[in-house]
Homo-oligomer: A and B are copies of this chain.
């Protein structure tokens, strides 16, 4: 049974595996103080045109989110996120466990807007409420939509107006940035956010995310926070090394384009067959709404996440394309689905 279950179901892209195999027999210093971490940090800073950024390596999204947020906020400060935000829903209260409230706003698009933020500020305006301080967004979002450049500029402006900080969760940044729906670049992200990360686990790395801190005020003592939260890897070079081949020749971004292209084909197929989606398909996740019986038949052939029942008669399932998804996989899906009805 083939799977469009998620984008982290295989070990790693061949170039990453090659890199790891080439590390055999080499020795490095511990805890990210080695030359590989230094070299890849430099590579990242060059690629995003931010020579003064601080770069840190993590091995997963939740530990990155909770470390960043708890490092930045003072005890009475809170995060603003959309109600489908990963930190709000799928991290088992990781942010609250570090002491901070996640204030959520309802958003059908999965994206946050300046209006959301000003509403939250109006409702949380004295010492009897938390103090909103950090704006959390993800790109692509949890429902596969992506931010346009102008949308990110607008968020930056409202943050500047109100003294807020802007954090982009980039677990699916490759797909988000290479979306044909958006003109946003990684250089834009680096200019417009205070801190963001470049996800690797979901785009061909063995495991790893690169955190980039732009705002100088947030850089001090960050390694203390990584260590305290349990995220400082003894073999830091193991995380960093994987990104070297991914960033050479922009492979990282090419893989992003590839998974989006595969997703677009799947979306067009379903749209062409008259099916609707939970949200516009703009990246590598397709949330298609099917009649219950068709969904059931499909799930006998494919492993897929079942998201919700938009109506009693329909089921929304998620297809997630991966760096290893091929044209044949997509064609096969269409054959299988054609045979179901």
Contact = CB atoms under 8 A, between A and B. Distances in A.
Interface of A: 3, 5-6, 8-12, 14, 17, 20-21, 23-31, 59-67, 70-71, 74-76, 78, 89-94, 96-102, 127-131, 201-202, 206-207, 221, 223-235, 238, 303
Contacts of A130: 92-93, 96, 224, 228
Nearest to A131: B224
A67 B131 CA distance: 17
Contact of A91 (B91, B131, B227): B227
B228 A76 contact: yes
Contact of A127 (B12, B25, B102, B224): B224
Chain A contact residues: helix, strand, loop or mixed:
loop
A306 to B, nearest CB: 13
Interface centre among A129, A130, A223 (most CB of B within 10 A): A130
Nearest to A103: B93
Contact of A99 (B9, B27, B96, B230): B96
A3 B128 CA distance: 21
B96 A100 contact: yes
A100 to B, nearest CB: 6
A127 to B, nearest CB: 4
A228 B23 contact: no
Of all A-B residue pairs in the complex, the 9 with the closest CB atoms, nearest first, are: A63-B230, A76-B224, A92-B228, A127-B223, A93-B130, A92-B227, A93-B101, A96-B101, A62-B230
A92 B234 contact: no
B235 A62 contact: no
Contact of A207 (B64, B228, B235): B235
Contacts of A221: 74, 76, 127, 131
B128 A92 contact: yes
B76 A230 contact: no
Contact of A90 (B28, B96, B129, B201): B129
Contacts of A60: 230, 232-234
B20 A230 contact: no
Nearest to A66: B230
